[in-house]
Amino acid sequence: MKKVTSILAVAVMAFGMTTVVIENTANEFDFMNDISKALACDDCVIDTGDRKPPKGIA
């Protein structure tokens, strides 16, 4: 009975760890999709008028 219980406990632990890994991987892909959407922004406005001109080399 102890063997069955320990085997069952290991199986449940392995299932839980697999579930956590799958959820973390899915979150990483969502994060990467957000980054790609931000980089491929079609209506982004880049305003460079506020930048100071670079200083000359002395």
Helix (H, G, I), strand (E, B) or coil at 58: coil
The 10s digit of each residue's pLDDT in 15-40 is 999 998 888 887 777 777 777 676 66
Place of tokens 């392995």: 14
Q: Where does the pLDDT of residue 49 fall: very low under 50, low under 70, confident under 90, or very high at 90 and above?
A: low
Of 9, 16, 12, 15, nearest to 1 by C-alpha is 9
Distance CA 7, CA 18 (A): 16
Q: What is the reported pLDDT for 12?
A: 96
Q: Where are the domains of the chain?
A: 1-39
DSSP label at residue 43: S
